[in-house]
């Protein structure tokens, strides 16, 4: 019994040892499987099914590209006008770029407004030319989304209007000089505002000014007060390809650089029969004058010197064969279209300073006429006061013969 019992006890002890080892082994396997992240553990009841959990977390989403498109001009559009804007759409407009190239691949200068999603050419495009628009928007991880579209501009039309400037590059003119643009045909009123927008004036130093339509074929520009002495003026007229009539287009663009000289103001009083000449605010000469007699009075108002001729001939015989005259004249300076001048009149020197005997002109002596001629510039100001007749606006460059408020009414932008 004791022997048998002892044997049984030993067997029982070994059995408990094997159970303990097995339990430890199983526990180790479970711990190993849990730490290893194995996706197969059939003894855990998973069989060959994939585990639904992973320590790597959810997969990162694919980067999304910003969508871009050219919305105008339409793809492959023909006969596009030369100043057409390029419009586009983008989901990331702040970081979107637009490049326009011509048929040779040269980039066209323009201004990109990212708030309005529009590109505007800095100058008119060329007639009958193909252009390519490329719109690019960046995306994540260095990727970009790019789209291209092409269009072709209109051919040069048969109905084109020549636009000219009275003034040219490099001229120096007086402080009252208006800028003058002329058109080869009448511009309908509905197009005049756009014409004004295309004619920009830059003055240095800056001065307030505006355009005024003198007629359907002529428009002037003046500042609020006389130009400051020494002002540099640049004006840019961009009318090539711009509609300026029903079926008519501007022929070309032009630019003008010029300068305002010293300030010279001439003031003529009929009461005193004298002209006071001021340069840069200081009186430099007082000149006796004879103005128009009562039957042919001089005009009272503010005018400017329009043209100068050292020697010319006044001939009125075509207008008045009976009472007309033909007379050589020295040191003539035109101030009205109707034929009023400042000029030398040696035949009236005895009357100058006390009696009016002219046909409407401002008569001065031969010597003072030459002196004054040598001092003046086209655009210098002359104001005549106290005569029997008022200056009619339009009889010459009468831009200063009206108030600023009245002058502004002639603009289609004010």
Give the residue, 42 or 245, on which the prediction is more confident: 245
- Which residues are CB-neighbours of 389 under 8 A, at least 6 positions away? 297, 298, 299, 300
**Domain 68-153 falls under CATH 2.60.40.3780:** yes
pLDDT score recorded for residue 16: 42
31-35, 337-341, 376-380: segment of lowest average pLDDT: 31-35
Of 290, 268, 293, 292, residue with least CA distance to 278:
268
The domain ranges of the chain are 68-153, 160-261, 264-397
pLDDT score recorded for residue 138: 81
Catalytic annotation on 361?
yes
Residue 306 has phi, psi (to 5 degrees) of: -100, -35
53-67, 299-313, 341-355: segment of lowest average pLDDT: 53-67
Q: Indicate which residue of 35, 220, 343, 359 is catalytic.
A: 343
259 confidence band (pLDDT: 50, 70, 90): very high
Running DSSP on this structure, what letter comes out for residue 228? Answer: P
Domains 68-153 and 264-397 share a fold: no
319 confidence band (pLDDT: 50, 70, 90): confident
Residue 357 pairs in a beta bridge with none
36 confidence band (pLDDT: 50, 70, 90): very low
85 neighbors 72 (Cβ within 8 angstroms):
yes
The average confidence (pLDDT) of the chain is: 87
* Dist CA 338 CA 324 (whole Å): 15
> Which architecture characterizes domain 160-261 according to CATH?
Sandwich (2.60)
Residue 272: pLDDT over 60: yes
CATH class of segment(s) 264-397: mainly beta
Cα→Cα distances 356→28, 210, 301, 371, 402, Å: 131, 38, 17, 22, 27
Q: Count CB-CB contacts under 10 A for residue 161.
A: 19
pLDDT score recorded for residue 315: 87
Phi-psi region of 11 (alpha: psi -120 to 50; beta: other; left: phi over 0): alpha
């Amino acid at each position: 019994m004791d022997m048998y019992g002892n044997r049984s006890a030993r067997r029982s002890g070994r059995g408990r040892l094997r159970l303990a080892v097995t339990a430890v082994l199983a526990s180790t396997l479970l711990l190993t499987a849990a730490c290893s992240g194995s996706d197969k553990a059939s003894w855990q009841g998973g069989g060959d099914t994939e585990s639904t959990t992973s320590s790597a977390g959810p997969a990162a989403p694919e980067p999304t590209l910003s969508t871009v498109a050219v919305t105008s001009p339409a793809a492959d559009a023909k006969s596009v006008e030369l100043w057409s804007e390029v419009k586009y759409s983008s989901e990331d407009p702040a970081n979107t770029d637009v490049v326009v190239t011509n048929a040779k691949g040269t980039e066209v200068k323009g201004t990109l407004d990212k708030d309005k999603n529009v590109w505007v050419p800095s100058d008119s495009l060329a007639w009958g030319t193909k252009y390519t628009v490329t719109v690019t928007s960046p995306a994540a991880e260095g990727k970009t989304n790019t789209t291209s579209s092409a269009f072709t501009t209109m051919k040069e039309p048969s109905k084109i209007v020549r636009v000219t400037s009275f003034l040219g590059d490099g001229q120096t003119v007086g402080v009252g000089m208006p800028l003058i643009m002329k058109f080869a045909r009448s511009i309908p009123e509905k197009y005049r505002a756009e014409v004004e927008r295309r004619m920009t004036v830059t003055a240095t130093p800056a001065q307030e000014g505006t355009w005024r339509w003198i007629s359907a074929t002529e428009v002037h520009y003046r500042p609020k007060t006389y130009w400051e002495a020494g002002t540099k003026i640049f004006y840019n007229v961009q009318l090539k390809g711009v509609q300026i009539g029903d079926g008519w287009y501007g022929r070309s663009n032009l630019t003008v650089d010029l300068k305002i000289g010293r300030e010279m103001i001439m003031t003529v009083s009929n009461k005193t029969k004298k002209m006071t000449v001021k340069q840069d605010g200081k009186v430099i000469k007082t000149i006796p004058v004879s103005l128009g007699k009562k039957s042919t009075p001089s005009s009272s108002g503010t005018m400017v010197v329009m043209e100068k001729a050292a020697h010319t001939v006044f001939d009125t015989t075509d207008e008045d064969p009976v009472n007309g005259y033909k007379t050589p004249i020295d040191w003539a300076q035109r101030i009205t279209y109707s034929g009023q001048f400042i000029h030398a009149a040696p035949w009236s020197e005895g009357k100058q300073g006390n009696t009016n005997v002219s046909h409407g002109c401002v008569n001065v002596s031969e010597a003072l006429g030459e002196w004054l001629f040598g001092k003046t510039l086209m655009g210098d100001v002359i104001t005549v006061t106290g005569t029997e007749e008022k200056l009619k606006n339009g009889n010459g460059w009468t831009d200063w013969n009206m108030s600023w408020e009245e002058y502004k009414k002639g603009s289609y932008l004010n």
